[in-house]
Amino acid sequence: MQKISTFFLTRKHYLLLLLITLIAYWPLTFHIFSLKNDALVYFLPYRYHISEAIQNGHFPWWNPYLYTGLPLHSDIQSGAWNPVVIFISLFTRYNLAVLQWELLFYLFIAAVGMFKLVKEFNNSVTTAVIAATAYLCCGFMTDSGSIIPWITSAAYLPFVFLYFFRLLNNPKLNTALKLSLALSLLLTAGYPSFFIYCLYILLIGFIIWQIRHYKEKSFKPLFLFSGITVLIFFLIISPAVLSWWDFFGYYERGSGASLERIQTNAFPPFSSISYFLPSAVSRSHSLLQTDLTARNASTGIFMLLFFLLALSGKLKPVYKFIGGLIFFSFLFSLGDATPIREWCHHFLPFMNSFRHPASMRIFTTIGIILIAAPALNIFLATKDAGTKKIKIITSAIISLLLGILTYYLFKSGLPQLTAPEKGKAFLDKLSFADMAVIQGSIQIVFISVFLWAVWKDWKKYIPALVITNTIIFCWMALPFTFISQVKTSVVDHYIASFPTGYPLPDISKPILTASSDSSTASPLGQEKFYSKIISIQDHIITPTINTRYINFLKDTLLRKALNNYPFAYFSDSTILSTVKLPNSGRIVLFERIGRVMEINAHITGTVSVVKFEPNKIELEITASSNGLLNLFQQYHHGWRAFEDNVEIPVYCTNRAFTSVPVSAGKHTIQFKFEPHDYIRVAVYVSSFTLLLISIFFILQLVKKKTSE
């Protein structure tokens, strides 16, 4: 019992952060409301299918349902290589409740990471808890609820910077291994743009550190353990990277994005008002012409206050570097408002591969918190430290808020909002001016109480005041950007209504075809992503999509010609283009002219599906003559086909789908999706590397316990 008590006492700060996480994001904690937008129509269906495959004893190499077949392991954001997703999938199928617990886990990890990072700079536990709460509830987090990999990246970034800083100061093997693990998680579980941007920060930081310390330290230990970090990192992430690389030939964005495209969803300069009024920017305004996920940069008004206090003094070299990072990241996030994003696009490798420059404001957020923390730490620990400056800065903020409040009070329609609407109906009526008045008033109250506490020297109450302010403004943001008004249980009931496993496709019925506009999903998600019925889906959520599939969707004539075809069929007309289509019969568009004469014969017969798994499809056919068997599964070089256990070629037909030549008579046709051998080898290498790392840390723990 004493050991249990000691265990919890030594980890009470983490338990406090867990409690704060559960309170700050209480709609997720109690499953009262559901996540929305991309979380509902992209990340949940993909995790659902990953868990479905694993629960049925298959690795999710291929999914036959999403976009008429998709290499799930090659989708960068699917979660197929995310250790957390794989671990959860070993025990249960995904539904919205599971996804929300996963998201809460990332939010908690983000808070823990920031707590440890701030503590690394010799700040107190109280300061670290305040900083962790500010990070947990910052505007980037509350804006990103629908984009799970963004929050995942934000969760692992503090750990990357923590172990990188430790490695610079004290190169050791365990630190090198921890940094390699943090980097691996950032890449495989997060959004690639954060990893790319972070890598440049680490590279520049490493160079500057070497320049500043080349006379003080030997290069050998740092270079040795940095090399180990890089080696272990590549060994761990090799399966994921090779899987992504394997799909680049099909990838719509594989060759990079245009300058115009990469400027999409920049942080509007006017959104800087979110540092004072976090949720006001979620309302419509003529100066906020960008997505809701790109508007809120709040770090909490008190973190901003202590950041300004820190800037009024002399900064240490490490904080000067962080200040430069803040400045550059802020300009980068503005998109085409400055030339920074364009320069990076032209001159830095991989900077042309991602959009959403506003997402890089997370680095601005991290920097502000790190610079603010020591000023807050000194203020709380010392009786009169910075009191005069604090009063001046606080008074200036109050004056600014009063000016904003006065300006928008005359534009606000709050006096007219006296109707009995509640909840979502009331929130929908609020304008930018209304939100500015509401949040401005609340901020003035908090800042005034803070100023009074400073005046009376009641510093012991200030941490609670700051944390309360941070959580309240987090709550205010959630209805606009994070959650919908649909209950989690309703979405879960909807998902549970669909069949589990992999039912055999009904070969007597046509596949479901998309309408000319299927972009409107129900509040519960896209039915075709769960129905387990093979279908054409034209509302593209994932960026990792086969370019050929896009071309098929654009080919109106071909789509019309293939309407009402079953999942697998024999074709009795082989065409080279859709310029002239036959009036009857089933066609196949076969663009490889050199093969046409061999497979041009008309063919009739029967087809039945006898086995249907995510990576294997088996059919029984009876063909009247030699010809083509056509399958509504996207073509991929990972497909292998066999006629009575004899391998046959696999062709890309109908722009994006799969066909094989079959012989006359009765045969068993097997389709097997097999990733390239180098991916399988990489899986074994990565797994073995992780096993060795686990053994290393277990032995370290045993050694520590023994010495104690």
DSSP for residue 213: H
pLDDT of residue 669: 97
Give CA–CA dist 279/442, Å, rounded. Answer: 12
pLDDT computed for residue 269 by the predictor: 95
SS3 673: strand
Distance (Å, rounded) from C-alpha 85 to C-alpha 201? 28
Task: Kindly state the tokens that stand for 583.
Answer: 């009036």
* Residue of 362, 306, 343 whose CA lies nearest to 113: 362
Average pLDDT for residues 566-587, to the nearest whole number?
85
> In this predicted structure, which of 44-58, 120-134, 416-430 has the lowest mean pLDDT?
416-430
**184's tokens:** 């691996």
pLDDT at residue 635 above 90?
A: yes
| pTM, 2 dp | 0.94
Q: State yes or no: pLDDT of 356 exceeds 80.
A: yes
The pLDDT of residue 519 is above 60? no
Condensed to tens digits (0 to 9), the pLDDT of residues 535-555 reads 988 877 877 788 899 999 999
* Alpha-carbon span 270 to 251, nearest angstrom: 35
Percent of the chain clearing pLDDT 90 (strictly above): 72
What's the token pair of residue 52?
A: 């479905």
Average pLDDT value for residue range 23-30: 96
Phi, psi angle pair for 265, to nearest 5°: 60, 60
- Rounded to an integer, the average pLDDT of 233-244 is 96
Look at strands 657-662 and 651-653 and give their pairing: antiparallel
144-174 pLDDT per residue, tens: 999 999 999 999 999 999 999 999 999 999 9
Using an 8 Å Cβ cutoff, are 63 and 614 in contact? Answer: yes
575 phi, psi to nearest 5 deg: -115, 155
Question: In this predicted structure, which of 10-24, 507-521, 686-700 has the lowest mean pLDDT?
Answer: 507-521
